[in-house]
Chain A
Amino acid sequence: MRLSYKWLSEFVDLTGVSPEELATRLTAAGLAVDSVEPRNHGVSGVVVGHVLTCERHPNADKLNVCTVDVGGAEALQIVCGAENVAAGVKVPVALVGSRLPGDVQIGKAKLRGVASEGMLCSARELGLETRWLPAHRTNGLFLLPQTAPIGRNVVELLDLDDVVLDVDLTPNRSDCLSLRGFAYEVAALLGRENQFDAVAKSQTSELSSAGPLKIHLETDACSVYAGQVMDATHKSESPLWMQMRLLASGVRPIDCLVDVTNYVMLEWGQPLHAFDADCIEEETIIVRSAAAEEVLVTLDGQTRILDETMTVIADPTKALGLAGVMGGQNSEITSTTRRIVLESAAFHAGNTRRTGQRLGLHSEAQQRFERGVDMAAILPALQRATDLLVSLAGAERDGGPVVVGAMDGNTLSRSIAFSPARCNRLLGANIEPAEMRSIFHRLGFTLTGHDTAGEWSVMVPTRRMDLQIQEDLVEEIGRIHGLDSIPSTLPELWISKEAVHLDHRLRSATRHALAWQGMNEVFTYAFVSEGAANALLLPDHSPLAHPIPLMRPMSEERSHLRTHLLPSLAEVALHNLSHGAAGGQIFEIAHVYLADSLPLLQRPSEPWMLGCLWFGSTPESFSERPRLYDFYDAKGVVESWLTSLGFDQLQFRPADESWLHPGRSAQVLAKGVCLGSFGQLHPLVMRSLRLPHALYGHFDLDKLAAHLPEHRLVSPLPKYPQSRRDVAIIVPEEISAEELLKAAEDAVHARRGEVALRAEVFDVYTGKGVPAGHRSIAMALTLSAEDRTLTEDEIQASVDGVVESLAEKYGAILRGQDSGHASRME
């Protein structure tokens, strides 16, 4: 809402309150002022001039030499290039020494040899709001009405000394979509009375007998309808002062009739509409629901197909307009219009909003109806518009206004119970009841009933539809009194059993563990294209292949909810590869969305997923050559992370996810439960995602949280030293390391129960000395017993047992043995 400071000052005395001060007060009261902008952008010394003569410039085709009366002793000679300059017109004249916006100073000039004592001005040169002026007012000079007094300062004439406050209204404050609404607010804030009566009374007409119009309300979507028939309206411009107020308010001046309806809407908040009365059959207005597929051509020339939820203004034969949204072309005011019907009504808020949304229409009028108009303003606004048309456009009333529907404003105002004590309790403040009473009074609310019992009855006027319950009144007290006076306290402390749920902590621990391993966390969008997951080679029966669509997506790339994080992470990798990165390690923890069925019948499941992507090569460093990230980089991260969460005895088995390379990927199991998978991407997936080289890890964190191991007690430290022996054996390459180690441990356990053995791989070798299809695996065997230090013989017997057993089971050949590191305590 653009608020004219000068216009507002007609309704409430603003003496001593600058526009900036007013803006601060309004903002502090919840009417946020976005900007305070003077209408004058630097005009001074510009006056009204009367062009007396206008001759072609002797040396230039496009210039004219004019003599202009500006009220001085002598007329001025001014050269002008505008096409619409002519003898007899009145125009703004920038005198020598005057200033124009953009720091322009006007001096004496010579144009093609002819002296010019000033400049005739266009709307743009004066800094007027040209975006709201019709083309004929912005092309060429800004012509002034013949009534403009010669020599008059244009700043005053055009209200350029006005200041516009742009207020960002919250949707509840429909009352402030009008000057009068603002006046109540400002009066309450400043503690001053408003001056409506002075304005209203002077123009109120005497009510004559009701006019000829017949009105029938056939729908609940209209509670009140008032109509005024008037004669002989012709199209003409509205007075300059009215045009300037409209411009200040951001409304386009059009002609006198339209300007008056807009002016009254700005003043009272009540939208008005004018029909050509001769287009209304039987002088009868019917407000009814539209018929299914009823057709109406609206004022903008569009053919609209209506439905039964919409409300139309009609005559007995046809629809004339969409109630509260837009008029119809069949009853539009034209140059041949002789009689009009002026409409002022209350249309149902939700109905108006729905209709506007279905038809994609949004007007100033509709904006007011959908927030609710003030019942008490319907008739006064109609009368005010009628008066203005009589006085400004020479129109004549055909009888008085005809009103149908529940009209009495007083019965519609609400009484709300209010307790000052409860108000202070809710605010935590200590505001005197007398101050509260004063605030209500200034807002125009009346107190009725006994206020001694500490319970008041506050009558709220119809313009404040937003106030329904006691808490609403508490807000009024708080915001007018000022929220600064509320002290700072802390609520009572009450402690709950589990402040942070396990799954939340698990995600946090995961983020930190991965970051410490060199992974960078990313945030990507949940919306992807319909085919985003196509790259993953998913079978059709997989729920991941069927993303949930948005009903009205903003673009095709963001039209579905993702089922998988890989495509999003691949996008991040591509961005970084194309911006100079040779590689990277990234991860994201986010929801994916899986539908039970499509179309969606219930809320989908939203598991928390972890996606890890290693792409390209490791960072360059003088101590380590860059190389492509490989399976063991990924495995190292995954193992460290899962170990940090308490998982031990993890098992790694080949994975069978469609997006992974079957030979270079693994699923991770803990106690038989698959926690997730990781490994090199399938070559076809990499190609579809346009990634040169990448590995992906995929974990369902909800599942992980459900299988998180219990806390364990510490194991006692060994009392006797452990001994280490290293053996290297040659085995067929299909024997996995895990299998070999387990067989070694089992062998000792089976033969010598009291001796404990832990086996670990420390080297793998293929090449010279190892037959094809085989590899040499070097294992560190750590031996110990609970009750004694093992003797050399015992140790050797155990190691021999391992080697024999492996030879038996896998045909393993001993390649070498070493006493390893001397016994080490761990």
Chain B
Amino acid sequence: MHQEAWNEELQALREEALESLRLSVDEASLEAWRVRYFGKKSQLTAWSRQLGGMDPEERRAVGQQLNAVREVLESGYKGQLEEVRAQAIRHQLAAETLDVTLPGRARRVGTLHPTTRTIEEIEAVFLALGFTIAEGMEVETDEYNFEMLNVPKDHPARDMQDTFYLTDELLLRTHTSPMQVRVMKQIGPNQPLKVIVPGRVYRRDEDDATHSHAFAQIEGLVVGEGVRMSDLKGTLEAFAKALFGQQQSIRLRPSFFPFTEPSVEVDVRCIQCQGTGCRVCKDTGWIEILGAGMVHPHVLEAAGYDARRFSGFAFGMGPERVAMLKYGIPDIRLLYQNDLRFLTQFRRVLS
């Protein structure tokens, strides 16, 4: 063949192959195309073999043309292959859709009781302040629950805490304060200590929105040489800030507990109105959250401490009351009713 003839044949092949390539829109037809135009039995292969029988000049000229056509077809093939693959992915993605709004299959997480959450939160604050945690038994003796705390029999202060007795001497503790003496006896005498005591306590109160015959309490006790009332204030201020926010402040009001002297009640700025006055705080801007005071010398002595050298402060708070304030729980009985629609509102792990 003449060069012109070669040229014509090659161009014809090129056109035909490119047209066929354009119509190959999936990987299978592309593979068939590749075999047809580049395979062992393809025209291009056959022609390449013929190059050997040509004179050098012709071989060079035809070879060049042959290569040019091959390159065009190869690059066309690659481009088409890429396009087809991309197209296939696009189709796959378009076809594979979910309703992402349907609920996930993960195991549903349960909940800690709001009282537990609050107790753990309070414990964490005091642990960070260097306190340790102790626990006591709920059935106490009259001696530890009252007498060693400076409340003799027939003392009117017993009216403050109407008591469930089991026998004349055994009772359900009305507060966690008996642990003051027990902890001092355990660690002392005359050893410094910083401890909190969480636990359940019992009083003969009719259950209503704010009273419960059973409730949780956390006692705190710090005893050492030179412990001052200002330490009490600083500690409880740190607690209030940690629990209710750094903007919090506290207020001490003189009060009476037989086992502390001086005794105070501690208020925090109303969480609801930030102190401007609302129904929750009865328009005072303050909410009472705990009772506290300097440990009465009689209590220190009952526990075997030297009351001239050692002083201390104690406080007691109701974590349920804290939880009610913090989460806006209107009725303490909700905490004992255990309705799952209520409990499952406490899924959030961070407090």
Contacts and interface: CB of A to CB of B under 8 A. Distances in A.
A670 interface: no
Contact of A499 (B132, B166, B214, B338): B132
Interface string B256-271: 1010011110000000
B311 interface: yes
B192 A494 contact: yes
Contact of B103 (A32, A425, A512, A621): A621
Contacts of B294: 426, 471
B338 A575 contact: yes
Most chain B beta-carbon neighbours within 10 Å: one of A29, A498, A561, A590 = A561
Contacts of A584: 340
Nearest to B251: A484
A586 B338 contact: yes
A479 B116 contact: no
A488 B253 contact: no
Q: Which 6 A-B pairs have the closest CB atoms?
A: A428-B230, A30-B254, A428-B228, A350-B154, A170-B256, A475-B262
Nearest to A586: B338
Given A30-B256, A487-B233, A527-B213, 8 more contacts: A173-B256, A349-B154, A475-B263, A489-B233, A500-B132, A525-B214, A581-B341, A585-B110
A371 B112 contact: no
A508 B121 CA distance: 12
Interface string A550-575: 11111000100100000000001001
A606 B138 contact: yes
A52 interface: no
6 contacts: A489-B228, A489-B231, A494-B192, A499-B133, A575-B337, A581-B340
Given A171-B159, A520-B344, A515 B132 contact: no
A700 to B, nearest CB: 16
Interface stretch (B54-62, B63-71, B85-93, B234-242): B234-242
B19 to A, nearest CB: 47
Given A469-B261, A552-B164, A600-B170, A370 B156 contact: yes
B167 A551 contact: yes
Interface in B271-289: none
Interface in B128-166: 129-135, 137-141, 152-157, 159-160, 164-166
B154 to A, nearest CB: 3
Nearest to A171: B156
Contacts of B47: none
A808 interface: no
A354 interface: yes
A551 B112 contact: no
B166 A478 contact: no
Contacts of A486: 229-230, 233, 252
A524 B141 CA distance: 24
Interface of B: 102-103, 105, 107-113, 115-116, 120, 123, 127, 129-135, 137-141, 152-157, 159-160, 164-167, 170, 172, 192-194, 200, 202, 204, 206, 213-214, 222, 224, 226-231, 233-235, 237-238, 251-256, 258, 261-264, 294, 296-297, 311, 335-341, 343-344
B308 to A, nearest CB: 10
Interface string A472-491: 10110011000110111111
Nearest to A525: B214
Contacts of A575: 337-339
A602 B140 CA distance: 10
A339 B67 CA distance: 146
Contacts of B206: 554
A517 B112 CA distance: 11
A765 interface: no
Contacts of B336: 523-525
A521 to B, nearest CB: 4
Interface of B is mostly: mixed
Contacts of B109: 515-516, 518
Nearest to B157: A171
Interface residues of A, number: 94
B335 to A, nearest CB: 6
Nearest to A548: B166
Given A173-B256, A492-B224, A604 B111 contact: no
Nearest to B199: A591
B108 A558 contact: no
A162 to B, nearest CB: 22
Most chain B beta-carbon neighbours within 10 Å: one of A29, A429, A475, A575 = A475
A474 B233 contact: no
Contacts of A427: 228-230, 262
Contact of B214 (A514, A518, A526): A526
A522 interface: yes
Interface in A586-600: 586, 590-591, 593, 599-600
Interface in A511-549: 511-512, 514-527, 548-549
A585 B141 CA distance: 37
A491 B222 contact: yes
Given A32-B253, A550-B164, A558-B213, A425 B340 contact: no
A525 B201 CA distance: 11
A775 interface: no
B142 to A, nearest CB: 12
A495 B129 CA distance: 10
B127 A488 contact: no
B156 A490 contact: no
A520 B111 contact: yes
B98 to A, nearest CB: 12
Contacts of A501: 133-135
Given A515-B111, A586-B338, A28 B253 contact: yes
A609 to B, nearest CB: 13
A504 B119 CA distance: 12
Contacts of A550: 164-166, 172
A491 B264 contact: no
A576 interface: yes
A459 B40 CA distance: 125
A712 interface: no
B167 A426 contact: no
Contact of B120 (A353, A371, A508, A586): A508
Contacts of A425: 226, 228
Contacts of A523: 113, 115-116, 335-336, 338
Contact of A490 (B108, B135, B231, B254): B231
A593 B131 contact: no
Contacts of B129: 490
Contacts of B120: 508
Contacts of B338: 522-524, 572, 575-576, 586
A824 interface: no
A553 B163 CA distance: 10
A562 to B, nearest CB: 11
A511 to B, nearest CB: 6
Contacts of B135: 501, 504
Contact of A599 (B112, B134, B167): B167
Contacts of B230: 427-429, 486-489
B133 A603 contact: no
Contacts of B227: 491
B317 to A, nearest CB: 17
Contacts of A561: 139, 166, 172
A591 B137 CA distance: 9
A479 B262 contact: yes
A478 B339 contact: no
Contact of A494 (B115, B139, B141, B224): B224
Nearest to B165: A551
A499 B170 CA distance: 30
Contact of B105 (A498, A593, A604, A624): A624
A521 B159 CA distance: 34
Nearest to A474: B262
Nearest to A31: B254
Contacts of B296: 471
A579 interface: yes
Given A483-B253, A491-B235, A550-B165, A515 B261 contact: no
